A and B are shown apart, each in its own frame.
Chain A
Amino acid sequence: MPKLFEDLRARLLVAGVAPRHIRRYIAELEDHLADLRTDAPDEATAAARLGDVDTLAQPMLSRPEFRSWTARAPWATLIGGPIVAMAAASAACFAVFAAIILSIKAMNPGRAIEPMWLQNMVQGVVYVLVFIAPILIGWATAAQAVERRLAPHWPIAGLLVFAFVTGTLDIGVNFPKIAGEHGELRIGWGLWGDFSTQSSGIRIGLNFILTATPYLLWRRRVAALAT
């Protein structure tokens, strides 16, 4: 990407323009510059006709409709967004579990206990939801913040709240051990859940350290590259 477009992209991101609008703008500017190069006598004339960074940035900055939700309401996207993503992932997994269990029961009406492979799979997914998903969603939040060149206070606040919410998250699945017994799917929040070897305090701390530390290092690296 030519330096003009890199500078323009950085300027617009810092100003809060949504990345999708920036991508589209720069893609069309690249097409336009390619046309100018075929018509203009030299590169300097082509660049001058396209406009400099200030000229190209101004019309995007003057239109509030191009601003991202992260710029307009950072609390919503950086604090609410990860929590909503986690809730959606949990709900989706539970819906899939329920569908599988109901299908198995429909196909084997006489079967009282779910097969071991299903029990193992469900427990594995629950562990992924509780221990891995918070880190992945936290990294996605950090990537969003780095890409948009955000000041660190909102992303750090978001990661801290998210670490607390996911650190206290208690997801559990109990399958019936004997015929006639009911199984249980549950989701809730509490300081002491099923994962008693990992206290909520440790999980909160780990989730925060494992997401905030890469974010701060990554942010520093991007800032160093920009200068």
Chain B
Amino acid sequence: MVKADATTNSTATSFMNGVPELLLLRLLQAREMYGYELVQAIRDETRDAVQFGEGVVYPVLHALEKDGALKSRRKTVNGRSRVYYSLTAAGRRRLGDLTATWLKVSEAIQGVLTGARHAEAI
């Protein structure tokens, strides 16, 4: 579903599960956006480090909406009708929880990778 770089494999794919959800919630925290806009924003903000098969963003958006984390509305801008998504109060709470979990996990992994724990033990 998500690839970290050109050397993507199934392990990387499953390891990245949950990342699209986190990124989508984070981007929608700022303003309402439509699917294509979200995908481009992810590409830009991660400098292409996180790439989606672009269409797969929609099941994630639909599932988040079904869970009440997002709401959607069809809006016409410059003659183009698109579905815009925005964050709900439940979505903000979910973003807070996911961010906290992600930071905790990434800090732990960072510690393992840099050997901080081993250094302390020695």
Contacts and interface: CB of A to CB of B under 8 A. Distances in A.
Give the dominant DSSP class at B's interface.
Answer: helix
Contacts of A58: 1, 56
Contact of B58 (A25, A36, A52, A55): A25
Interface in A47-64: 49-52, 55-56, 58-60, 63
A35 B59 CA distance: 18
Interface residues of A, number: 21
A55 B59 contact: no
Interface string B50-61: 000111101110
A11 interface: no
A52 B55 CA distance: 9
What size tier do the contact residues of chain B reach?
Answer: 10 to 19
Interface in B24-58: 34-36, 39, 53-56, 58
Contacts of A21: 62
A65 interface: yes
A24 interface: yes
A214 B54 CA distance: 41
Nearest to B39: A32
B54 A32 contact: yes
A66 B59 CA distance: 9
B56 A63 contact: no
Contact of A51 (B34, B55, B80, B83): B55
B67 to A, nearest CB: 9
A55 B53 contact: yes
Contacts of B82: 31
A25 B57 CA distance: 10
B66 interface: yes
Nearest to B43: A49
A28 interface: yes
Contacts of A51: 53-56
**Top 6 A-B residue pairs of the complex, sorted by shortest distance between their CB atoms:** A51-B53, A55-B53, A59-B59, A35-B36, A59-B56, A51-B55
Interface of A: 21, 24-25, 28-29, 31-32, 35-36, 49-52, 55-56, 58-60, 63, 65-66
Interface of B: 1, 34-36, 39, 53-56, 58-60, 62-63, 66, 80-83
